[in-house]
Amino acid sequence: MEGCWKLTAVAVLCLYWAPIWGFAAEKQLRFGKNGEFKILQVADMHFADGKTTPCEDVLPSQVASCSDLNTTAFVRRMILVEKPHLIVFTGDNIFGFDATDAAKSLNAAFAPAISSNIPWAAVLGNHDQESTLSREGVMKHIVGLKNTLARVNPAEAHIIDGFGNYNIEVGGAEGSGFQNKSVLNLYFLDSGDYSTVSSIPGYGWIKPSQQLWFERTSAKLRRTYMNKPVAQKGPAPGLAYFHIPLPEFASFDSTNFTGVRQEGISSASVNSGFFTTMVAAGDVKAAFTGHDHLNDFCGKLNNIQLCYAGGFGYHAYGKAGWARRARVVVANLEKTERGGWGAVKSIKTWKRLDDKHLTAIDGQVLWSKTSTGLALIRTLSAQDRLTSYYPNSYNWFNKQIVHDPFQPVKVIMVQTNSYDKKDTKEAGSIGQERSVEVGESRRRQTFNRNSLRHRRVGILWAYLNFGNKERNKERKPKKEDREMKECWKLTTVALLCLYWVPIGGFAVEQQQLRFGKNGEFKILQVADMHFANGKTTPCEDVLPSQAASCSDLNTTAFVRRMILAEKPHLIVFTGDNIFGSDATDAAKSLNAAFAPAISSNIPWAAVLGNHDQESTLSREGVMKHIVGLKNTLARVNPVEPHIIDGFGNYNIEVGGAEGSGFQNKSVLNLYFLDSGDYSTVSSIPGYGWIKPSQQLWFERTSAKLQRTYMDKPEAQKGPAPGLAYFHIPLPEFASFDSTNFTGVRQEGISSASVNSGFFTTMVAAGDVKAAFTGHDHLNDFCGKLNNIQLCYAGGFGYHAYGKAGWARRARVVVANLEKTEKGGWGAVKSIKTWKRLDDKHLTAIDGQVLWSKTSACKVS
């Protein structure tokens, strides 16, 4: 049996460590002997039925003889004159409405590329699927054509939105030290067609699953490039191709781009956060789109060039007399000291017009290694201060960000022209050094749970078949035969156990929350306690008469008063629970800060702010300490994803009233996310944000909860309402003024300086009715945007900055159940909120209905 145990162990280890996905077989692209790699971008061919398809927006003299064949001729001319190494078609390759047969139209549209024997790639636009093939069908047809490097989707991503997400690696020059490295990385993404979310009009966008794939692919390529042989100090440059432009394309005017802008930016009506994801990845130097045919400019934002190609196709709308055009991009290698070819030195671009001479225009350098080398040591000027992002807010900035942007660096925060105590407090580590990580951050290798299981099935099947064959190959003596039989049973059980075990380990069941017998569930939100050392910690921004006797104990007393007055079912602490810079011992400060909740025996939850980790515990350490405290429902992270950014991402389900038909369903879903502390990306100043990995977890958790809620028993027509809690407000909080919110706004919205896209992700999920934050202590309003209430709690803690004479406050949220026809409790009927002030009477103010089932039905 000793051999059996060895066999079992080997089988289990092989299954565990088996690659989650196979290697993609594709033609290897590489730089030429002249150290050059050239890409031809063709945008918006809008091909239909060939010769019978008329041209749009051409001169009267061109109309009679103009058709799709003019588009074909233009492609051929561009191939002949430029001799590209790769041709990229960036969507709306065919115009589905006018294409009688999608397959034939696709074949004809790509025919010049196919016949040239030049490798080519393509992504989808918003019109490609409007003929006789679905969106997936179009991409599958493209992938089946000759010489294409396009893929339907990456093999490693078991579940990913859209069709046509993949990457292509371009190797260094043959014979050089870089011949086995990808020195130029090309990313292709499906930007969708149209929104499928009723409250979001317009075009589609790049989803969290795609962004996470991009982020992890970029990180993997970076590691490979920066490892031996010929280890590099930074990532290889990358280029991204997709169809629909990002909202950030609207950031330019004629003074800061090259080319023309003759129409609006037809991006999605919401921000997906993909621009932020590209900036954070650190390798993408330019992104290329089509879609808006009359725009052909390139503009630089956060060190990324955002470029249109300009309209190419003759059946696409255009402008009579304004020539159709194509964009060419050329990457050039640098010469090494020994005279060979090295890494990429520069990336240039120009456009060619479809005129007699194929006139080249608007030549420009998109990126050069020399200029970015200087950018790695970045000193921010006064103009870079965060005040440019946060009106009426922080006059502090990163004085110096030095060294390789993918290694830990020191960031020294300094204060300039501060006008109130908030500037000092919010800078966190003013006058001190704070170690942060840039680029890769705390990212680790990960597995996709579903793809892992999918892969394991095949291995398990092959292994068990091998066992059967081995047993039948020759007869054993009876005793050995029995032992071998038991061995295979044991091995099978071990493999099946490994197959079914969650990748992250087993989850400990959390305490079941549910609505009370009165059909109510009440949540107390406590934001920004800023607790430090208790009695010895002074208060900030209180009246002179209060200063002498005021300390952290006033914060503790306020928590206790709120618990006694409201008797909540759950207490939620939304970050900056302690003020790390002043807390001598983080663990003791955390214990004292949460003591009122712990002693009340009421379940409680918490997320982290930007100050919690500034004492004696790391960010992870703080969250682990919180999770170890009594009565908490907080978790360090969800079990399901093997990796997720941040600490304190989890959800809590609130069951229906006991004895009702909903007692075994979650009728109210609570989401908790880590919004980070400070940006670790040198070109993005200010605060952190919710990353794609967190958004994807939220998206999939929401979808799972919705499926359960809408299944039997008591199947519902729509999702259960959800509430989201995190610390740092989203940029969308700046969408309101005094005419469309309840409460007060007395300071700027101190969100991240970039848009993470999380608001879009919440809207698309469809279940979140309100999101609650802290961070900006002098704001306490709720405003409704895209059917989601965005709410501040208002400053709670006495060691936090505030406003003398403006009472500290807390927010209360109450969800109420509806009555069924039989008189029992049903689903959630409404969600209401109010705030209480820390005055003599705990005065309740600003009562409002955040959501009601009736009004939601009317909206839909």
Whether 289 is in a domain gets the answer yes
Q: Which of 409, 437, 465 is the last residue of a domain?
A: 437
Whether 418 is in a domain gets the answer yes
The Cα–Cα gap between 156 and 132 comes to 29
Chain segment 7-58, per-residue pLDDT in tens: 444 444 433 333 333 223 357 899 999 999 999 999 999 999 999 999 999 9
Closest Cα partner for 663 from 521, 518, 515, 520? 515
Residues 392 and 493 in one domain: no
Residues 407 and 458 in one domain: no
Q: At 838, give phi and psi (nearest 5°).
A: -85, 65
Chain segment 92-124, per-residue pLDDT in tens: 999 999 999 999 999 999 999 999 999 999 999
Taking residues 464-470, report their average pLDDT.
Answer: 40
The domain total for the chain is 4
Chain segment 716-754, per-residue pLDDT in tens: 999 999 999 999 999 999 999 989 999 999 999 999 999
The helix (H) or strand (E) run that includes residue 399 is: strand 396-401
Whether 508 is in a domain gets the answer no
Chain segment 663-711, per-residue pLDDT in tens: 999 999 999 999 999 999 999 999 999 999 999 999 999 999 999 999 9
Residues 633 and 729 in one domain: yes
Residues 121 and 11 in one domain: no
Whether 562 is in a domain gets the answer yes
Residues 253 and 371 in one domain: yes
Residues 401 and 496 in one domain: no
| CATH code where residue 63 lies | 3.60.21.10
Residues 485 and 422 in one domain: no
Chain segment 823-846, per-residue pLDDT in tens: 999 999 999 999 999 999 999 999
Q: Which of 417, 437, 457 is the last residue of a domain?
A: 437
Residues 419 and 523 in one domain: no
Cβ neighbours for 813, distance < 8 A, ≥ 6 positions apart: 522, 523, 525, 723, 770, 772, 831, 832, 833, 850
Residues 345 and 360 in one domain: yes
Q: Is the pLDDT of residue 471 over 80?
A: no
> In 10 A of CB 201, how many CB atoms?
11
Residues 522 and 480 in one domain: no
CB neighbour class for 839 (10 Å; exposed up to 12, middle 13-18, buried from 19): exposed
Q: Can you give the residue range of the structural domain that contains 223?
A: 31-375
Chain segment 423-451, per-residue pLDDT in tens: 333 333 323 333 333 333 322 233 233 33
Whether 22 is in a domain gets the answer no
Facing residues of 641 across strands?
Answer: none
Whether 506 is in a domain gets the answer no
Under the banding of pLDDT at 50, 70 and 90, the label for residue 407 is very low
Residues 256 and 349 in one domain: yes
pLDDT above 90 covers what percent of the chain? 77
The Cα–Cα gap between 142 and 100 comes to 17
Q: Which tops the pLDDT comparison, 650 or 459?
A: 650
Residues 606 and 496 in one domain: no
Taking residues 176-192, report their average pLDDT.
Answer: 97
Q: Is the pLDDT of residue 238 over 90?
A: yes
Query: Can you give the pTM of this predicted structure?
Result: 0.82
The Cα–Cα gap between 809 and 777 comes to 10
Whether 25 is in a domain gets the answer no
Whether 24 is in a domain gets the answer no
